[in-house]
Amino acid sequence: MMDLDILKVRDASDVEDAVRAALAAGRPLEIVGHGSKRVLGRPVDAAAVLDLSALAAVTLYEPHELVLTVAAGAALTDVVTLLADHGQQLAFEPMDVRPLLGGEDAGTIGGMLGAALSGPRRIKAGGARDHFLGFSAVSGFGETFKAGGRVVKNVTGYDLCKLMAGSWGTLAVMTEVTLKVLPKAEAETTLMLRGLDAATANRAMTAALGSPHDVSGAAHLPASGLRGPCAGLAAGAATTLVRVEGIDVSVADRVAALRRELAGFGAVEAIEGEPSKAAWQAIRDVVPFAAGGALGAWPVWRIVCPPARGCALGEELARESGGEAVYDCGGGLIWLALPPLPDAGAALVHARAGAAGGHAMLFRAAAPLRASVAVFPPLASGLAALNRRVKVGFDPHDLFNRGRLHAMTEAS
Amino acid sequence: MSILMPEFDKAVMARRGDIVTALRAIVPGEGVICESRELVPYETDGLTAYRQPPLVVVLPETTAQVAAVLRYCHDNGIKVVPRGAGTSLSGGALPLGDGVLLGLGKFKRIRDIDFDNRVVVTEPGVTNLAISQAVAHAGFYYAPDPSSQIACTIGGNVAENAGGVHCLKYGVTSNNVLGCEIVLMNGEIVRIGGKGCEQPGYDLLGVVNGSEGLLGVITEITVRILQKPATARALMVGFASVEAAGACVAEVIGGGIIPGGMEMMDRLAIHAAEAFVHAGYPLDVEALLLVELDGPVAEVDALIGRVEAIARGCGATTVQVSHSEEERLLFWAGRKAAFPAVGRISPDYLCMDGTIPRGKLPEALARIRELSVKYGLQVANVFHAGDGNLHPLILYDANVPGEMDRAEACGADILRACVDLGGVLTGEHGVGIEKRDLMPTMFSEIDLKQQQRLKCAFDSGGLLNPGKVFPTLHCCAELGYMHVHGGKLAFPDLPRF
């Protein structure tokens, strides 16, 4: 990644020009907003950087319509602030990668969508994909195209927004995106259980999520995973957290009901307002494994699996590797920090995650490691071939973020 | 009958006997239907103005049979149209005279109910409502509720990305599907997603939802189930103008309240529904709003109060709040019967399905009124107001020469107006054949070509459900789509993926 040309584009038409030039010259591009997520995925093989940070305008924000259109290079923090000024939010709680990756910048909306890293509320509100209504982009054919729209109910043509979400910039260069936004909850309370082992914690979260009380967060932090300060959560004992949000009277009602349902798991404590928000922000951003913390030098995996199996899978992996696991989404999202191993534990983690009906991504690791092991899960052969054909349909010459998802040898 | 379908391939039709024999070797017994009398039930779907008997119907029972049928058709250049319950309102399951109609009606088994992971794994021929019924004993349900839910199948719901009254709060089909097994046109079986909340690789599940049977044949689906809300109550609010009702919708949503459902009806629809089911609807109003709040009792009671205050602030002339389940269901009875109610006052009607930004409701209604006058046809309006999804019902008589053509032209103009107001051609019924030729109002040639390149990745020969969704059929080479074989592009000098 040394001495790359930086193509700083001013608008969407510049993007099309730059892609056409790259296409003509056969020079692959690394697609970058603020660069906050360049260390995610495999290192990219590019001849130039396409810098979208100047595409930062808010084109349309209609709070009453719950809709926002911004240029892809708009800063995530600016958008979050703009929405908060109107009592609104991106309901899928996009992760801020700074604590975990140690960067300075929280990145752009385009990067947020490209990585599709949703937070704890995913279990209730859905992920980034579910809030992504429309976009304009430039394909690897050098053509500007659009898909979707600005309304939620829309089945006109294929839902390409879903395809772009989580595509890591490998299909097309998004220039403008439209998102559904939602009101912030008026109140929130988090119930906490202390000292549960992982299996019991998983059962407690399953009970809460299987109740009619509309839980919007369910996480478990084992004692050994909390080695430093974490949003005021007491170290030394495992903490299981269940969040309820809504209007005051409803939160009070549901908290009372959940206290009864969780009583069998031990004493139930509660935090509200700011302390509750801070706790969930720390869970969202994986503060227990923060770059500046005790486990900051360890590689970190992000594992998605059926939620009721999550804690068993995480415990097994932690035990076999000597690592630590924390759990979000009722057990459906495992963050696993492993002590340094030659392959970052890739063979073990991919095999076990796959056997549990899940899949894993090596999230934090030094570049040489990310270049040498399977960062993303190996796909079954039919699915892998279909993924390649989809890529070819959008970017036939592999111009965008070449090599970010898979090594050449894996693809062939 | 203004929609042209691709010209039938006479050579394929001439091979009909061989095709039937080959299909019988794959699906034994009564799974292959070729008697013309027995093909009649399959010649149309919910868009009954269009009819076409298929070349042959095949009703496989296993994924292996589906794969074998598709592989055979692929190898022999035979088109295939997949079909669930045949309730599509856009002609998505309209057969082709030179194509095999592949019915999934025998895939009727729920394979796994997993309460701990809050999912149901089901075959595609199970009805939408049957999924909710199968988990009701534990207090769960499947949230998307298209109004045809007693008949429509979950496979068809995925293909059309079906919505329903409650999708304002709980999302449409694609927000509630976690995994599927699909068979590609070449017979390959691919599993996408599972019981977790994300899938590895590209989000192909996201494009299979709403792909209208053009990408693959779905043979298994994993859906998310939810606990039923503790209670639901409804408000029935009358307004002297649609503008006031539209403003109320905007105030409720803008006020941070996402109701379980929020429906609007105009005068013609109100009168038709009241005459049919006697729900107690006020007849002296221009617009009726039904707002349902669901959730914990304390929350619902509080929000009912807030919505009532907003409605009065917006000039509501009548406000009624349901105080019992019977009363709530009565409020809904008129809305749920709105389509058949309109069917009683007109020999035929066309149901449109555009979506507009919520704030444009009054403007959209004004445009619809103008078009109603211009075409000399009455239009009754029923909306999913909360998400701006309009269902104008255009009344006509198919026995009056030229009236159906006028109704179709009126419908097309209404959809053009939706796009013009910042909306889209279809919110939940699908493009199918009905809106196919209107696609260029919303999308450029380049936009549509890019969509078709995605199709090429799944079905490079264009054999699966051709003639639907896209107004112009391009072969994949024309689109610049390059063939991939064994993971490698056919052109060795090009960079690799």
pLDDT (tens digit per residue) in B404-420: 999 999 999 999 999 99
**Both structure tokens of A299:** 């590689």
pLDDT of residue B482: 85
- Residue B269 in this model has a pLDDT that exceeds 90: yes
Nearest CB neighbour to A162, from listed B191, B207, B426: B207
pLDDT of residue A357: 97
Query: b or e along B393-422 (b: 16 or more beta carbons within 10 Å of the residue's beta carbon)?
Result: bbbbeeeeeebbebbbbbbbbbbbbbbebb
Give the number of C-alpha atoms closer than 13 A to the C-alpha of residue A227, restricted to the C-beta side.
15
CB B289 within 8 A of CB B239: yes
Q: How far is CA A232 from CA B76, B226, B346, in A?
A: 67, 32, 67
pLDDT of residue B483: 79
Nearest CB neighbour to A151, from listed B190, B296, B355: B355
- Cα angle A143, A146, A149 (rounded to 5 degrees) comes to 175
Nearest CB neighbour to B197, from listed A329, A408, A412: A329
**Using 50, 70 and 90 to split pLDDT, how confident is the model at B488?**
low
List of residues 6+ apart from A340 with CB closer than 8 A: A297, A298, A299
Average pLDDT of chain B? 94
CB B172 within 8 A of CB B162: yes
The answer to whether residue B139 neighbours chain A at the CB level (below 8 Å) is yes
pLDDT of residue B6: 87
Query: B346-434 has which CATH code?
Result: 3.30.70.2740
Q: H or E segment at B415?
A: helix B403-420
Tell me which fold the domain B110-227 belongs to.
Answer: 3.30.465
Give residue for tokens 């555009």.
Answer: B354
| C-alpha–C-alpha distance, residues B48 and B94, integer Å | 9
**CATH fit for domain B10-103, picks 3.30.465.10, 3.40.47.10, 3.30.43.10, 3.40.30.10:** 3.30.43.10
**Class at the top of the CATH hierarchy for domain A288-372:** alpha beta
- Chain B 236-255, residues with CB within 8 Å of chain A CB atoms: 250-251, 253-254
Q: Comparing A1-184+378-412 with A288-372, is the CATH topology the same?
A: no
Average of pLDDT values for A44-58?
97
pLDDT of residue A411: 40
Average of pLDDT values for A381-398?
96
B497, A67: Cβ pair inside 8 Å? no
Interface confidence, given as ipTM, is: 0.96
- Residue A378 in this model has a pLDDT that exceeds 70: yes
- Residue A236 in this model has a pLDDT that exceeds 90: no
Q: Tell me: the pLDDT tens digits for B180-221?
A: 999 999 999 999 999 999 999 999 999 999 999 999 999 999
- Residues from chain A that touch B481, judged by Cβ atoms under 8 A, are 392-393, 396
pLDDT of residue A232: 79
Average of pLDDT values for B442-467?
97
| C-alpha–C-alpha distance, residues A249 and A245, integer Å | 10
Average of pLDDT values for B453-482?
95
Nearest CB neighbour to B196, from listed A158, A186, A306: A306
**Using 50, 70 and 90 to split pLDDT, how confident is the model at B491?**
very low
Which of A121, A122, A138, A156 to mutate to probe the B interface, most B CBs <10 Å? A156
Tell me which fold the domain A187-277 belongs to.
Answer: Alpha-Beta Plaits (3.30.70)
Q: Tell me: the pLDDT tens digits for A52-104?
A: 999 999 999 999 999 999 999 999 999 999 999 999 999 999 999 999 999 99
| C-alpha–C-alpha distance, residues A240 and A326, integer Å | 10
**Using 50, 70 and 90 to split pLDDT, how confident is the model at A195?**
very high
Average of pLDDT values for B313-342?
94
In B, minimum Cα distance to A86 occurs at: B254
Which residues face B258 on adjacent strands? none
- Residue A3 in this model has a pLDDT that exceeds 80: no
How many Å separate Cα A192 from the centre of its chain? 24
**Both structure tokens of A407:** 């090594």
CB B163 within 8 A of CB B146: yes
Q: H or E segment at B404?
A: helix B403-420
On the 0-12 / 13-18 / 19+ scale of CB atoms within 10 A, A282 is: buried
| C-alpha–C-alpha distance, residues A69 and A149, integer Å | 10
Nearest CB neighbour to A393, from listed B206, B439, B457: B457
In A, minimum Cα distance to B192 occurs at: A383
Q: How far is CA B330 from CA B86, B165, B283, B319, B451, in A?
A: 29, 16, 16, 15, 44
The answer to whether residue B442 neighbours chain A at the CB level (below 8 Å) is yes
- Residue A412 in this model has a pLDDT that exceeds 90: no
- Cα angle A324, A327, A328 (rounded to 5 degrees) comes to 150
Average of pLDDT values for B226-250?
95
Closest Cα of chain A to B229: distance in Å?
Answer: 6
Q: How far is CA A167 from CA A172, A381, A382, B417, B491, in A?
A: 9, 19, 18, 34, 25
How many Å separate Cα A356 from the centre of its chain? 21
A1-184+378-412: CATH architecture: 2-Layer Sandwich (3.30)
**Both structure tokens of B190:** 């691919």
**Using 50, 70 and 90 to split pLDDT, how confident is the model at A227?**
confident
- Residues from chain A that touch B229, judged by Cβ atoms under 8 A, are 212
Q: What are phi and psi of B422, to 5 degrees?
A: 95, 10
Average of pLDDT values for A401-412?
73
**In chain A, domain spans:** 1-184+378-412, 187-277, 288-372
**Both structure tokens of B208:** 């299979």
- Residues from chain B that touch A385, judged by Cβ atoms under 8 A, are 484, 487
In A, minimum Cα distance to B389 occurs at: A153
pLDDT of residue B268: 96
B452 vs B165, which has greater pLDDT? B452
For B217-268, the three-class secondary structure string (H helix, E strand, C coil) is: EEEEEEEECEECCCEEEEEEEEECCHHHHHHHHHHHHHCCCCCCEEEEEEHH
Beta strand B99-103 pairing with B79-83: parallel
- Residues from chain A that touch B253, judged by Cβ atoms under 8 A, are 64-66
| C-alpha–C-alpha distance, residues B322 and B235, integer Å | 6
- Residues from chain A that touch B446, judged by Cβ atoms under 8 A, are 143-145
A236 vs A357, which has greater pLDDT? A357
- Residue B338 in this model has a pLDDT that exceeds 70: yes
Domain with CATH 3.30.70.3450 in chain B: 231-339
CB A69 within 8 A of CB A176: yes
**Using 50, 70 and 90 to split pLDDT, how confident is the model at B492?**
very low
B296, A412: Cβ pair inside 8 Å? no
Query: B231-339 has which CATH code?
Result: 3.30.70.3450
Domain with CATH 3.30.43.10 in chain B: 10-103
Comparing A277-291, B100-114, B446-460, B475-489, the range with the smallest average pLDDT is: B475-489
DSSP tag of A28: -
**Both structure tokens of B77:** 């250049």
**Using 50, 70 and 90 to split pLDDT, how confident is the model at A234?**
confident
A156, B431: Cβ pair inside 8 Å? yes
- Residues from chain A that touch B305, judged by Cβ atoms under 8 A, are none
| C-alpha–C-alpha distance, residues A282 and B239, integer Å | 48
pLDDT of residue A290: 96
B484, A385: Cβ pair inside 8 Å? yes
Q: Which of A224-228, B3-7, B163-167 has the highest mean pLDDT?
A: B163-167
Q: How far is CA B315 from CA B187, B245, B309, B311, B346, in A?
A: 60, 9, 10, 7, 32
| C-alpha–C-alpha distance, residues A237 and A239, integer Å | 6
* Residue among B401, B287, B409, B392 nearest B349 (CA): B392
Instruction: State pTM to two decimals.
Output: 0.96
Average pLDDT of chain A? 95
- Residue B497 in this model has a pLDDT that exceeds 60: no
Which of A130, A154, A350, A392 to mutate to probe the B interface, most B CBs <10 Å? A154
